[in-house]
Structure 1
Amino acid sequence: MWRRLKRYLASDQTHAVLDRLVSRGASAATGLIVAIFVSPSDAGAYAMAMLVLTFVLAVGEQAARQVGVRASRHEGGAALMRRAALASSAGGFIVMAVFLVVAPAAGAIEWHQSAKLVPLLGVPVICGAVLPRLCAAQAAGEWRAVSKAQTIGSSISIIVAVPLAPVVGIGAASLQSLAAEGLFALQLRKRNFPHPTLGSTRLWRRYLLPTSINGAMGWLQGQADRLVVAIMGSAAVLGQLSIAASLARTPIDAALLGYVNLLRAELAKQDSRELKRAVLDRYLPRLLTGALVLQALVSVLTAFVVAPLLGGPWAPAIALVPLLAASAAPAAATWSLSAAIIDEARARALVPWQIMGVGLSLAAGYGFAQSLVLGAILAWIRDIIALIARSWLAGNLLSRRLRWWSVAATGIGAIVAGVGYSFLSGRFGIGA
């Protein structure tokens, strides 16, 4: 038993999960600690900045990362990654700089809040700069080195930033994000991409551009609800929603995305649909099981740790956590199937469904502005529709057994969410 546990902890799966879990977990932990010392309005200002930051990363660094291993197998792939890194860094810096000037000028946030968000300017620059080294490490299967660098960088960033929370508020969270990425980049040594085994192809047109568009649409689908809240509601309402989402989804999504990164790398090494289907058969059940375990764990920790710690002004956010966590299993399946579809150079097929998802997110945002519970239900429906669409697009990549796995996991997740919300509302008298 101990030998099996030791082998699992040393496996690529564990290190791939740790890569994302530590990074996002550190950010969420810092945000939670900062929330103790700031008002919902300040938290909302930080949430607005993170909306912009996640957008520039989704269309730049993260899109390139998704196709990095696949591109490295083709001639010219390494050069494409270097160009993508430069574009991601420069574009991200410009967009963030514009936000930090325009947002306070338009009255969306205060100038003093904008000043505390300045460290976020460096995050897309560093993420873009480290992109070629990161993709080369993943192509070489160096997951342990990546997770080790991420763990050290995130740990030190928390130690540095958290003591500043009572003094600079949201500035501490901004500094933590910058420090974590900077320390990660310093540790990740330069590697050469593996020698290409496939001929040149239109990598930009077949993979990178469609994946970047897919990233933009995915961001819109995931964030349009918050944009509506920011327009219709207030920074305080957005702050409640952001804290709830941070508690409910950040640790879950981080772990799942780390595993999906490993899945994506394995898919990129296969050249036939049969082999890709075998990869999905091996990884997807683990992802769905892990999603349910994490969902239950988050709900329990929220009830017995977070609720007594925050309480008071953050009561609506606490009550919302189990409902938002209900999307864990559908998201795990959706991201896995999207990775398989993109690997087959069919990212364009996702766009019409993502446009529909954006519309559903707008409806969810309207729901959040009226009632946090109504918005959470509409967001869950959106995620179910996204899973159905990916299942249809995947075709015979998804076996009948996996389809039933997805249905069962989604149903169990809904039950867990209902129980968690009822418990929190009843025991702590929290209403959303």
Structure 2
Amino acid sequence: MLWALVERVLPRASSALVAILLAYATSPDIVGIYTWLTLGVTLYLSVADGAARQVAVLAWRSSTGLDLIRRYGRIAGPSGLIVLSLVAVTVGALSGRWDLIASASPIVFVPLVNVRSVRATALMQVSGQWRSLALIQSIAAATSLVASVPLMLATASLLGPALQLFLTEAIFTILVRRRVSLTGLNKRAAGLTEGERLGGAFAHLSAQAALGWVQGQADRLLLGGFAGTSALGSYSLALAIGRNPGDAVSMATANVARSAVVDEASLEDARAVLDKLLIRALAATAVLVTLLILAVQLILPMFLNTDLWGRSIAAAGPILLSMIITVYAWSVSPVLVQFGYGKALTYIKLVGLAFAPAVAIGAVWDLQIAAWLVLGREIAMLLASVAICPRAAPRKALILSICLTLFGSVLLEAWALVR
């Protein structure tokens, strides 16, 4: 669990650091323009990469599954390049800031390198090489930061953050493929017999991920469309501080959960395994959330211009608290998929989508209102998943996640009143 956590936290932590440094060096308007570009990247990563990585964990067992991953690599990379180029041109035309768009050009090449790491990463996850994955992520994140941060601070442009994103993916891809080759995992995965065709599962997961992207980003799409890039930039910094750590921890826990239950024959057995795993994960998450909230509220105001970013800093607390809910919810999703309840995820995403207009309106009025609505959305989605498929819900971990969230909310409001 520790190395899986490190493997997912490092790229997210570096992204959060880049967002903070970009806020330090620029303004909400420029951060808003960069947000539009990264929305295109997250769309690709959700619809293509996210679905492919879930299928790849199962695909290595069969020749048909491996063929699917190979076809994915040939199609997804060029398609992603085209989509991100169209996004960049559109943002440039609407904003008139072609200088910023040109400086952010490395970002459109992310899909070309990302597709090359899917199969190798899955092979390392299945074989339990979390420590090696964490080391590779460390090298990729550190190298990209060393190369990009000086550029960002010196130029106050989007070249630094765009280069950091591209280099992280490129270096990770090179190292993970080399590791798989050196350890012989490629040969171990070759020559397998025919197995279950996973094309349908990939299509379903991709569609569900697209809906998830819309649900997760609709508030920013609406906010940017109606309130402009400056408001979008302020809200996006709050999300970068609050969601990047949460998404990293949640992804790490979900990766471990997926590997832990993949060999379980029944839903009841998988739920029991997941319950034990999640109780430990939630306890660690609660400690992490506490430390992060204290760091954000006490340290960031000394670093960032509070006249520009004070509202963003205040809004990060409730968003950080939602990490407890997403750790639980994201870990249950692989169990739903494995035992044939994947369609339930679509209905859960619709619940989250219904919150998007309220979050966007709240962000225009007050970022803290929007932050509490984000937390409320995660709780509503969690309760919807339990209502739709109660058999898949690890009960002890469910109670613990809700209690920790409610307790944390009370403490957060008490802290705001005292300050």
TM-score, scaled to structure 1: 0.90
Paired position in structure 1 for 2:7: 19
For residue 203 of structure 1, what is the aligned residue in structure 2? 198
Aligned twin of 1:379: 374
Q: Partner of 1:9 in structure 2?
A: none
Q: Aligned equivalents of 1:394 and 1:219: distance in 2?
A: 22
Change (3 A) 1:323 1:196: farther
Q: Name the amino acid aligned to 2:245.
A: P
Q: Give, in angstroms, the shift of residue 277 of structure 1.
A: 1.4
Report the Cα distance in structure 2 between the residues aligned to 1:349 and 1:196, rounded to whole angstroms.
35
Work out which of the residue numbers 289, 299, 302 in structure 1 matches 2:293. Answer: 299
Contact 1:337 1:391 (C-alpha < 8 Å) held by counterparts: no
Pairing partner for 1:124 from 92, 111, 115: 111
Alignment equivalent of 1:146, drawn from 133, 139, 155? 133
The answer to whether residue 28 in structure 2 is matched with residue 28 in structure 1 is no
One-letter identity of the residue aligned with 2:283: T
Whole-angstrom CA distance in 2 between matches of 1:324 and 1:116: 30
Q: What residue in structure 2 maps to residue 171 of structure 1?
A: 159
8 Å CA contact retained: 1:139, 1:194: no
Choose from 314, 318, 322 the match for 2:313: 318
User: Measured at CA, do residues 419 and 84 of structure 1 come closer, stay the same or move farther in structure 2, by a change above 3 Å?
Assistant: farther
Tell whether the 8 Å contact from 1:41 to 1:235 is kept in structure 2 after alignment: yes
- 1:177-256 matches, within 5 Å, as 177-188=165-176, 189=178, 190=181, 191-192=185-186, 194=189, 200-205=195-200, 207-256=201-250
* Contact 1:241-1:317 within 8 A present in 2 as well: yes
Q: 1:350 to 1:252 in 2, by over 3 A?
A: closer
Question: Partner amino acid for 1:166?
Answer: L
Instruction: Report how far residue 85 of structure 1 moved.
Output: 2.5
Q: C-alpha distance in 1, partners of 2:72/2:106?
A: 23
Rounded to whole Å, the distance in 1 between the matches of 2:193 and 2:268 is 20
Give deviations 1:118-144, integer Å, cap 9, x for gaps: 111121211111111111111221112
Q: Distance in 2 between matches of 1:328 and 1:198?
A: 41
1:221–1:361 contact (8 Å) kept in structure 2: yes
- Structure 1 residues 232-241 or 285-294, which shifts more? 285-294
The equivalent residue for 2:48 is: 60
Question: Which residue number corresponds to residue 133 of structure 1?
Answer: 120
Task: Provide, for residues 329-385 of structure 1, a one-character-per-residue CA deviation record: whole Å limited to 9, x for no partner.
Answer: 111111111121122233222212312321212221122122212222222221111
Q: 1:295 to 1:243 in 2, by over 3 A?
A: same
Opposite residue 336 of structure 2, the aligned amino acid is I
Q: Determine whether 1:332 maps to 2:327.
A: yes
Which structure 2 segments of 5+ residues have no match? Answer: none
Match of 1:265 among 246, 259, 270: 259
- Whether the 8 Å CA contact 1:256–1:291 is kept in 2: the answer is no
Query: CA offset at residue 249 of structure 1?
Result: 1.9
- For residues 84-111 of structure 1, give each alpha carbon's deviation from its aligned partner in whole angstroms, at most 9, with x where no partner exists: 2233212211110111112222x14621
Aligned length: 410
Decide whether the 8 Å contact of 2:344 with 2:385 is kept in 1: no
Conserved? CA contact 2:267–2:339, under 8 Å: no
Q: Are the aligned partners of 1:157 and 1:177 in contact in 2 as well (CA < 8 Å)?
A: yes
SS in 1 for 2:343: helix
Quick one: structure 1 residues 164 and 187, their matched pair in 2 at CA, closer, same or farther if it must change by over 3 Å? Answer: same
Structure 1 residue 414: Cα displacement: 1.7
Check whether the contact 2:63–2:191 (CA below 8 A) recurs between aligned residues: yes
* CA deviation map 1:372-399 (0-9, x unaligned): 1222222222111100012233422324
Letter in 1 for 2:161: A
Instruction: Note the C-alpha offset of 1:41.
Output: 0.7
Give unmatched runs, 5+ long, in structure 1.
1-12, 427-432
Q: Does 1:103 align with 2:88?
A: no
Question: Which string of whole-angstrom CA distances, capped at 9 and with x for unpartnered residues, describes residues 52-86 of structure 1?
Answer: 11011100011111222123234411111122223
Corresponding residue SS for 1:19: helix
Residue in 1 aligned with 2:283? 289
The range that moved more, 342-351 or 140-149, is 342-351
Partner amino acid, structure 1, of 2:295: L
In 2, are the aligned partners of 1:116 and 1:170 still within 8 Å (CA)? yes
2:273 equivalent among 276, 279, 285: 279
The percent of aligned pairs where both chains have the same amino acid is 27
Looking at structure 2, the residues matched to 178 and 151 of structure 1 have their Cα atoms a distance apart, in angstroms, of 15
